[in-house]
Structure 1
């Protein structure tokens, strides 16, 4: 089958019947300008004269005359029986043509990519972030953020989606509930109650387009410009970005062996409006917040009238003992918003996550979603609900927990044998990556650059720090790599770092 040819975006054309310049010349100039600017690339197919005339509300003759002028000057060419196209080999002289000015107002093209942006828009472009999880060279070990996609039960999932599609009620084809598909919210509430110790009902569950969408929504509703927000340091940079996006002041709070240091947080900013934490499996260090520290954090939030966002990062994947119960389920957790996602337990492209918000915030969150007209596709939500209700979701997590434990231990063994000279590494107790600590005064960013020359992606720990303190280290994911790939990856890493392999 021939490859589809891109067509012109019709909404970009504007004709003014009251202008002195004839309509066909207005169209000629706008199309010529779009071709010279590169908006219409060589080979782009133009609409038929009949369709274009109907779309623009002009006579077919107007379109024909504009096309004739463009063809005469070499901008476009017709192919018998196949339509009209932007000339595939444009003459350089066309890009030196200066057309006469018209009385039709044309959208100005910014000189800079940031020109015309709002202050917030310009701020977004300046955010400093590490590489996106799983993006870029996704098959280079040991990039973080990817689950074992090759082990996802695609046939089982396909059967679920097909069955749901066949049984889809016509009533579900209308505008959906902005809070999410009710049966999915019920399944999430049941799952979190049984597996995470949360205290919630389906009414408190808000389905969002992934964890980042949930963070952005919470930031918009809970933070005003210049409000302070505690962030774990080192911590999740995209949470920092979400808070900075709304103009909040980010306050880094260091992590110790018990989790976020609440005492330092209170000393630095006792009246912060919000704290973002990953207590079950801290990102990126993997620390589990102690019970004493959890209650200390809750007491601070109650006294300060602050909110806590609990990102339950990788909580399903604990290999020693049962998963740690959620902070949200403890006594005195009325100020906690719980954030979860299906990206790691199912697959990232699903783009479904969820917030569990206190009852007092439900109406505000639903209103914000309705105002923004954010409605998630119903088919994916219905499929996940069915997948959970039939028990496939829980079975999949058990299978993956076993697989990840095996891969994590294998990476630990390989790294100790071949990288022991430069990395101090602990056996994985949870999560999808290991932290390898480098010798003091070692530049972890330089070590990451050396690894990349061997087609290995390790994330330098300093990329997740807000304060330039602490020992250097690297993150190595094992979730998405087979044992053979892990072994080969460690060998290439050893060559990159000039270590003696055991």
Structure 2
């Protein structure tokens, strides 16, 4: 059945009421195109808004909204006596725009690729598959909590309480480090849950781990200096250091995590180590006490610094976690990074860094000049959420929930993907790494598999993308925290279908 259209107006406009584009934008786009293609000449009078509305069978307000936008853009002018007309002073180059700019190319031709920088081309090459932004839950996204487990009704009440009569310090000029109440709540929580004391005046609320790490790098390193990073590791670590003009030196990790002797062999002059000792991303290893003490000793003796990324240390399902490096630090050399977005819900966009106290004065100056500081909207509510005990209760509930989902994922992998992928139980975290079995490993390209899975509605991350060096291991990172337990088995079955269609199988000669 053809889609309904409205009859043409004197301008030759044809509107589609079934389109997703609002009617006022359809009007604006078509009039703008008519001007650029010189079908409407400079100075030409346009029909009145009443006439256009009548001819198009739309509300007059719809036409006025479209004309107001065209007036604001300079395509149309409004004069009291003569009504609306096409502007006389449009630039000549705008009126000779080549076909294909802003319009589909002619049949049989493709639009030329834009001239991009090398870093933009690299970003496109390494970008994860496009999974859309709709409400459909996707299986196995990495770094995503279960949003349905978060108490949004309670959160709304806390937001309302905070903003009914906000304090001047909140509604006025906020401290560069963020909401004072939130920083105090974080300090109290860390003292109880993570076992170290810190001054709220040294806590900086940030938009994410990238901003936290970039701030620390700018504080302790000069441009071009080196920092050790884990290999494989979180892609955002490399991005944050690049933003601070710091050279990232990848250090291969093993089953025991980051090894200082390998780091010194790779770059003896580095003065910053970025590590995730409680649960290394993505491999999940835990840094043993001996290596922790070696790293702390290095920082103390060589004027070095340590960035401790504790992105999901709250989720431990077996045994007690080791004390954070920050709790063992005697000389003020460890900055502790945490994130609420990965624990509560991603759109919160609130993380924090606990700086060594000696760095706080300089950090305040740098943060005051940062244009993209974290939104204040949720900081006060989050302070109440933590102080009233809701945060620890939420962690306790989701810890049980995620442990059960890891069990379900392991069962699904065994049931549907044995012979394709192999994985093992992880005593903590929110994801598992599944590697190809030896028989298919030489033909397993995790980027190809991830792209094919995305087309099937499954969000898996390629392990190879976590490597900074040329030697890359392939596998799939499967986040289970945000995947409903009832959908894990069917998602594993669908992933098996993807692998059968994607990974070539070596056939024996008969």
TM-score calculated relative to the size of structure 2: 0.75
Q: CA deviation at 1:369?
A: 1.1
The answer for the alignment partner of 1:108 in structure 2 is: none
Could you tell me whether the CA contact under 8 Å between 2:280 and 2:286 is conserved in 1?
yes
* Contact persistence 2:196–2:327 (CA under 8 A): yes
Residues 232 and 253, structure 1, Cα contact 8 Å, conserved in 2: yes
Structure 1 residues 149-298: aligned runs within 5 Å: 149-298=147-296
Residue of structure 2 in register with 1:45 after alignment: 66
Shift in alpha-carbon separation, 1:370–1:134, aligned structure 2, 3 A? farther
C-alpha RMSD of matched pairs (Å): 3.7
Give the drift of 1:6: 6.9
Q: TM-score, normalised by structure 1?
A: 0.76
Tell me if structure 2 keeps the 8 A contact 1:462–1:468: no
1:489 to 488, 491, 494: 491
Q: Write the distance in 1 (CA, Å) between the matches of 2:245 and 2:81.
A: 52
Paired residues in the alignment total 428
Gaps of 5+ in 2: 1-20, 27-41, 46-62, 98-111, 502-510
Contact 1:456 1:489 in 2 (8 A): yes
1:314 aligns with 2:307: no
Q: Distance in 1 between matches of 2:130 and 2:260?
A: 28
Deviating more after overlay: 166-175 vs 201-210: 166-175
CA distance in 2, matches of 1:96, 1:246: 39
Mapped pair 1:448 → 2:442: no
Shift of the 64–290 alpha-carbon distance from structure 1 to 2, 3 Å rule, reads farther
1:32-73 CA-partner distances (Å, limit 9, x unpaired): xxxxxxxxxx99734399x97xx99xx985x98794244x99
What secondary structure, in the 3-state scheme, does the structure 2 residue paired with 1:498 have?
helix
SS at match of 2:85: helix
User: Which residue of 380, 384, 387 corresponds with 2:385?
Assistant: 387
Equivalent residues in 2 for 1:94-105, closer than 5 Å: 97-98=95-96
Whether the aligned pair in 1 keeps the contact of 2:129 and 2:454 (CA below 8 Å) is no
**1:351 shift after superposition:** 0.9
1:199–1:328 CA contact under 8 A, matched in 2: no
**Partners of 1:334 and 1:113 in 2: CA distance:** 48
Q: In 2, are the aligned partners of 1:280 and 1:312 still within 8 Å (CA)?
A: yes
Maintained 8 Å contact 2:195/2:327 = yes
CA distance in 1, matches of 2:331, 2:114: 45
Paired residue secondary structure (1:379): coil
Check the 8 A contact 2:211/2:240 in 1, yes or no: no
- Provide the secondary structure at the position in 2 that maps to 1:401: helix
Deviation string 1:74-112 (CA, Å, 9 cap, x unpaired) is x9xxxxxxxxxxxxxxxxxx999449xxxxxxxxxxx99
Matched-pair contact (CA < 8 Å) for 2:311–2:342: no
Q: Secondary structure at the match of 1:68?
A: strand
* Equivalent in the alignment of 1:131: 128
Counterpart in the other structure of 1:427: 425
CA contact (8 A) 1:282 1:313 kept: no
2:459 corresponds in structure 1 to 457
1:482 CA drift (Å): 1.2
What does 1:13-162 align with in structure 2 at a 5 Å threshold?
45-47=66-68, 67-70=84-87, 97-98=95-96, 123=119, 126-127=122-123, 129-131=126-128, 139-162=137-160
Q: Distance in 1 between matches of 2:366 and 2:267?
A: 29
**Would the aligned equivalents of 1:315 and 1:324 in 2 still touch at CA under 8 Å?**
no
**Distance between the aligned counterparts of 2:303 and 2:132, measured in 1?**
38
| 1:306, distance to aligned residue in structure 2 (A) | 1.8
Work out the CA distance in 2 between the residues paired with 1:463 and 1:298. 29
Distance (Å, rounded) in 1 between the aligned partners of 2:301 and 2:132: 41
The Cα of 1:453 is off from its aligned counterpart by 4.6
Q: Secondary structure at the match of 1:180?
A: coil
Render the CA deviation track for 1:89-144: whole Å, top value 9, x for unaligned.
xxxxx999449xxxxxxxxxxx99678xxxxx975664564429987677332221
Select between 186-195 and 459-468 the one with higher mean Cα deviation: 459-468
Give the Cα–Cα distance (whole angstroms) in 2 for the partners of residues 316 and 134 of structure 1.
Answer: 28
- Unaligned ranges ≥5, structure 1: 8-24, 29-41, 76-93, 100-110, 116-120
TM-aligned CA distance change 1:123 to 1:159, over 3 Å: same
- Matches of 1:454 and 1:370 in 2, distance apart? 45
351 and 48 in structure 1: CA distance in 2 versus 1, 3 angstrom threshold? closer
Q: Give yes or no for the alignment of 1:305 onto 2:303.
A: yes
The aligned residue for residue 466 of structure 1 is 468
Shift of residue 421, structure 1, vs aligned partner: 1.2
Cα deviation for residue 473 of structure 1 reads: 1.8
Query: For the Cα contact (< 8 Å) 1:310–1:327, is it kept in 2?
Result: yes
1:265, CA displacement in angstroms? 0.5
TM-aligned CA distance change 1:146 to 1:97, over 3 Å? same
**8 Å CA contact 1:129, 1:237 repeated in 2:** no
| Structure 1: distance between partners of 2:178 and 2:360 | 12
CA shift for structure 1 position 378: 3.2
Say whether the 8 Å CA contact 1:185–1:205 is kept in structure 2: yes
